[in-house]
A = this chain, B = another copy of it.
Amino acid sequence: MTITDRPVDNGVDVGALLAARDALSASPDAAAFTWRASCTWQRGTHSHATVSGFAGLGTEHLHRTTYDFDLDHPECFASADLGATPVEYVLVGLVGCLAAGVASVAQHRGIQLRTVTASISGDMNVLGILGADADVRNGFDSILVRFAIDADASREELEALVAQSQKRSAVFDVVTNPTRVVVELD
């Protein structure tokens, strides 16, 4: 690591996160969060979704603004391609979660980041979702994430950074471990 007079600043307030950890450990009810989205079907495989609020710290929160998303299937599936596909949303969430983790852990470890880019790819045999082969799963066979990081740190430190980001990533856990999902009709 290069020693400079400038303090490390990746834009992550680690002090606030550590304070939150202490405060929530002392009052675990406040640590119960509920994240939400709403979805309205448009036509065909096109849906529109919004994310506006969530619950946590014992109260309701509104995002700074409502986030809007269009989801669709691509033209090669005879759809209109009016948005990214649902599985691409999962890849976006996973890579964004790992990138936020890299920044947070780097701040905590005193590593100044210059640039962080990542590519993510997920292999899928679509005979599963098409119902053509019962032995083929619907989801990804496997996912590969590749980070390129320019930072004041050794390769060993950067590898440890990426490993710690995985260890604390919510979406990495969601994708690599099973989660109970209940789907109901109103």
Mark A residues whose CB is within 8 Å of B.
Answer: 10-13, 16-17, 20-21, 24-25, 28, 31-41, 43-47, 49, 51, 54, 56-57, 61, 63-64, 67, 69, 71-79, 81-100, 102-104, 113, 115-133, 137-149, 155, 158-159, 162-163, 165-166, 168-186
Contact = CB atoms under 8 A, between A and B. Distances in A.
B40 A69 contact: no
Contact of A131 (B63, B64, B155, B168): B168
27 contacts: A13-B78, A25-B132, A31-B132, A33-B124, A38-B119, A41-B102, A67-B88, A71-B97, A71-B99, A86-B94, A86-B171, A87-B97, A89-B96, A93-B93, A124-B170, A138-B169, A139-B170, A139-B179, A142-B181, A142-B182, A143-B179, A143-B180, A146-B186, A174-B175, A176-B178, A176-B180, A178-B178
